[in-house]
Amino acid sequence: MSDSNPPDVHCTHVPHRYDAVFFDLFGTLIDETATAVSGALERLEECRGAPWAIVTSTDARLALRLIARARLPNPPLLVTADDVARNKPAPDGYLYAAARLGVLPCRSVVLEDTAGGIAAARSAGMDVVAVLGGRPAELAIGATFVVADLMTLRLRRSEGAVYLTLEERERR
């Protein structure tokens, strides 16, 4: 299937193994009122002790205020517009995060909610879970996997890895 078509959808319970997880902030973890979206806190808690980061196109000051307002834990690594020369859809933020955490981009997964973020992660060589959040499936063109929201996936840390299990949609 080419990346110019919306992803096919089918159910999967097979875990996918990664060395790190990267989250977009606005739209993926928090909504337009700076409130944590359903499942955000749970997914971040599932990553505790594993390499993970938030990668955002906002500046550090705003990102930290949004994280605090949403009552989400501070990430082990926060990559913002202050850290890179080019924001999404350029891959710079995700590549910087992988380098800082000492993981290979191809062994990382990104949770994103925008076409530009998906393009950035794919350009970095990472798998991407498109989090639709009520938006049309066409948003997910280029994504590796597609979920309706953060409640339809699970992350599990084990033996130095993070295992992603999708409960609703996966790109074939």
Mean pLDDT over all residues of the chain?
91
Q: Please, what are the domains in the chain?
A: 16-166 (3.40.50.1000)
pTM recorded for the entire structure = 0.90
One-letter amino acid identity for 15?
P
Please, are residues 120 and 91 in contact by the beta-carbon 8 Å criterion? yes
DSSP 80: -
Identify the band that residue 7 occupies on the pLDDT scale cut at 50, 70 and 90: very low
Q: How far, in Å, are 36, 75, 90, 104, 172 from residue 59 at the CA level?
A: 19, 15, 16, 25, 35
> For residue 80, is pLDDT > 70?
yes
φ/ψ of residue 149, rounded to 5: -160, 180
